[in-house]
Amino acid sequence: MGTKTVDETGVKTEDKTDAVTEAPENAEVETADAVNDEAVEDGAVTDAVENEGPTGVGQGAGAVVSAGLGIVSLTGSWVGTVASARESLIGQLQSTSSSDVGALIEKGYGNAWQATAMWGGIFALVALIVGVVVLARPAFGAPGRPQAPWIKSVAWAGVGLGVIGLLLAVLKYTDVLLGLPSAG
């Protein structure tokens, strides 16, 4: 096995080296560099990158955007709030000379309610369209690459939220859901 030696202090030590020869420390690095250089020269690395194909990042982002827009369609948006306030102000300006309470309610609040419903419906429709496009994308993309399950789940959530948001927007706009009170 090992050989025993005596050092200058007179202590016996055992050398554990067997017949195995030690390689230089940088031998692995040199070998790996040589292999990488040969692969680049042959074009193997370039081919591997080109054959990798799309990663699905765009589809994932589209699915998240769809779900986000679906949530915005249900909770409201800054655009809908501003449109509602604008319609309310226009209605108040138009009805200040009128003493008819019904006209005041309709112009001051009804139009604002419909503007909010309209913007909610627009966000819901966009969420629905983006979700459907993300779900349909694999049919027109690379046939051998399946879509990640989380992308499908989030896109379906966006489609579902879009449908619910669109339904609620139509019901609010037509005064079926929470219609304006009558003045009579």
Assign 143 to helix, strand or coil: coil
- The 3-state DSSP class for residue 104 equals helix
Q: According to the model, what pLDDT value does residue 170 have? A: 92
pLDDT tens, position by position, for the chain (184 residues)?
Answer: 556 666 666 666 665 555 455 555 555 555 555 545 555 555 554 444 445 555 677 888 889 999 999 999 888 888 888 888 888 888 777 776 666 777 777 777 777 888 888 989 999 999 999 999 988 887 676 666 777 888 889 999 999 999 999 999 999 888 787 767 666 6
Buried b (16+ CB within 10 A) or exposed e, 116-152: bbbbbbbbbbbbbebbeebbebbeeeeeeeebeeebb
Q: Are 42 and 131 contained in the same domain?
A: no
pLDDT score for 49:
44
Residue length, the chain? 184
Same domain? For 31 and 96 the reply is no
What is residue 65's predicted lDDT score, i.e. its pLDDT? 92
Q: What is the pLDDT of residue 6?
A: 63
The parent domain of residue 106 ranges over 57-173
What's the pTM value of the predicted model, to 2 decimals? 0.62
CA 57, CA 60: separation in Å to the nearest integer? 5
Q: Is 14 helix (H, G, I), strand (E, B) or coil?
A: strand
Q: 43 with 123, same domain? A: no
Rounded Cα distance between 152 and 156, Å, is 6
Question: Which residue bears the tokens 């249900």?
Answer: 74
Q: Are residues 85 and 103 in the same domain?
A: yes
Task: For residues 114 and 157, state if they share a domain.
Answer: yes
The verdict on 134 and 76 lying in the same domain is: yes
Tell whether 72 and 139 lie within a shared domain.
yes
Please give the Cα distance from 49 to 55 (Å, whole number).
12
pLDDT at residue 174, as a whole number = 87
Classify residue 21 by its DSSP letter: P
With respect to residue 125, please indicate whether it lies within any of the assigned structural domains. Answer: yes
